[in-house]
Amino acid sequence: MKRLLLLSFASIFIIVSLSGIALLAACTPVSFSHTGSTVTVSQETVTLPATQAPTQEIIEPTATIEGPKTIEETATPEVMLPSWIAYIGLDGNVQLLDANSGEQLAVTDDGSSAMDFPQPDHYFLYSDPAWSSDGTLLAYKRTENTKLSDRQDYMFSFMVYDLASGESRELVSDKELSGFAWRPGTHLIAYTLMTDPNYFTARAEVNADLAKGIMAIDAETGGTMELVKPQGYSLIQVQWSPDGQFASFYEIIYMEGKGNFAYYDFETQEYTSWGRAIGNHDWSPDDETLVYDDVTYVATGEEQIYLNDRYDEGETIFAEGDSSYYASNPLFSPDGETVLYKETDASSDNNISNLLVKELGGGKAESILEDTSIYDIRWSPDGEYALVVMGPYEHPTLLEVNVYDYTTRELGNGWTPVWQPLAQ
């Protein structure tokens, strides 16, 4: 990771100083509804002091020489564009926070907090905000909950918020919707569906006829398609490589745990399964390397972080835990030169963790945040900061950590923050 320092030398030096300023669920989503899928599409002069008359003869210059310009003439005020962070606020609503100015915008206003109890008979929960790669659209999941006499009824929807118009619309509504992810460079959303309970026939045995693949919907046209067909197993937790060539996911084998890691190459149209489970993973910016942990279900306290090529032929240990901490949740920096990850105290029930960065080329990992409850981590788009969800879980703080000097800044309170991508 490199910083660029621009030094400008001229006959006059002007120095202007400005001062300012998840736990991730591993269980397989299972649908207990046998209702068929329904797709619904709805269509921002300084006056210099006088000088004393000179006592010697003045020699007139042969060329006109301009005097020093005033500050107003030389300095162009820097316009700070909004740097939006989307997150779920403490009231359960989708919020936008400008990391530069502190401005707040409410995307939704009818949400309920998952921390509230008891809940009313009818309420909405919002989750999983995600930006399109161009930063113009924000997708999020809405769960409509209705309390019936004999059960709780759910209806899931994927919503899309247009930053320019400030309006949201429902893109897909279905009882079986699970997770989703934007394909980079497009406004296509890939999504997965809940697993039919009858899919599981015995331990590690499934009914392939009930397997579900990866679906997709175009946020512009509303057109839907099957993006990846299942190869004997239902697919879940879709994730894209940075250029959108590969979609990775997990093959559901058990009712619990991650399942086998697999991916689809949209250039060669080839489906590849590693035939084994890995934990949380991330693609390098060049699509050539994967970094992942081995937290495939409940952490045992011995988890490590690995690097590997996509063919599963070059696995190496990148970060080990120690006698009391295990390593997890690795993320490549935007330039691909550094990995951000956390080490968690295996003996604690409070998710006490350290946040670390380590150069891909080797060297010692550096701890940039120590001994706190860390639930979620994200890179800023420019790689200058880590965005951390810091406990307690019922009232979490969104903390910005400078990865170079370790200074911190509290941004607000909430869950699952995502930073708007840089303008292309």
**Rounded CA separation 336/338 (Å):** 6
Please list, in sequence order, all residues whose beta carbon lies within 8 angstroms of the beta carbon of residue 43, skipping any fewer than 6 positions away: 169, 222
The encoded tokens of residue 382 equal: 């420019």
Q: Do residues 158 and 139 touch, judged by C-beta distance below 8 A?
A: yes
**CA 302, 308, 312, 314 torsion-angle sign:** negative
- Reported as a single tens digit per residue, the pLDDT across 359-388 is 998 889 999 999 899 999 999 999 999 999
Domain membership of residue 297 (yes or no) is: yes
Q: How far apart are the first and last CA of the chain?
A: 20
| Residue environment code for 205-232, b if the CB has 16+ CB neighbours within 10 A, otherwise e | ebeeeebbbbbbbbbeeeebeebbebee
Domain membership of residue 384 (yes or no) is: yes
Residue 324: CB atoms within 10 Å:
12
Domain membership of residue 83 (yes or no) is: no
**Rounded CA separation 80/18 (Å):** 14
pTM value is: 0.82
At 270, give phi and psi (nearest 5°).
-110, 140
In this prediction, residue 29 carries a pLDDT of 65
Domain membership of residue 233 (yes or no) is: no
In this prediction, residue 147 carries a pLDDT of 94
Domain membership of residue 382 (yes or no) is: yes
Please list, in sequence order, all residues whose beta carbon lies within 8 angstroms of the beta carbon of residue 344, skipping any fewer than 6 positions away: 299, 325, 326, 328, 351, 352, 353, 374
In this prediction, residue 30 carries a pLDDT of 60
- Reported as a single tens digit per residue, the pLDDT across 243-291 is 999 999 999 999 988 999 999 999 999 999 999 999 999 999 999 999 9
Residue 304: CB atoms within 10 Å:
16
Q: Do residues 252 and 235 touch, judged by C-beta distance below 8 A?
A: yes
In this prediction, residue 247 carries a pLDDT of 98
pLDDT tens for the 424 residues of the chain, in order: 443 333 333 333 333 333 333 333 345 566 544 333 333 333 343 333 333 333 444 334 444 434 444 444 455 556 677 899 999 999 999 999 999 999 999 999 999 998 988 889 999 999 999 999 999 999 999 999 999 999 999 999 999 999 999 999 999 999 999 999 999 999 999 999 999 999 999 988 999 999 999 999 999 999 999 999 999 999 999 999 999 999 999 999 999 889 999 999 999 999 999 999 999 999 999 999 999 999 999 888 889 999 999 999 999 999 998 778 999 999 999 999 999 999 999 887 778 999 999 999 888 999 999 989 999 999 999 999 999 999 998 999 999 999 999 999 999 999 999 999 987 6
Longest dimension (CA), the chain: 105
C-alpha distances out from residue 157 to 15, 142, 246, Å? 54, 5, 25
According to DSSP, the residues that pair with 359 across neighbouring strands are 338
In this prediction, residue 78 carries a pLDDT of 61
In this prediction, residue 11 carries a pLDDT of 36
Whichever domain contains 415, its CATH number is 2.120.10.30
Length of the chain: 424
Four-point Cα dihedral 48, 52, 55, 59, nearest 10? 20
Domain membership of residue 340 (yes or no) is: yes
Structural domains in the chain (count):
1
Minimal CA–CA distance to 292: which of 256, 252, 329, 241?
329
Domain membership of residue 38 (yes or no) is: no
Four-point Cα dihedral 326, 329, 334, 337, nearest 10? 30
In this prediction, residue 111 carries a pLDDT of 97
The encoded tokens of residue 305 equal: 């972080």
Q: Do residues 264 and 245 touch, judged by C-beta distance below 8 A?
A: no
The encoded tokens of residue 292 equal: 């992942």
Domain membership of residue 144 (yes or no) is: no
Structural domain that includes position 409? 280-424
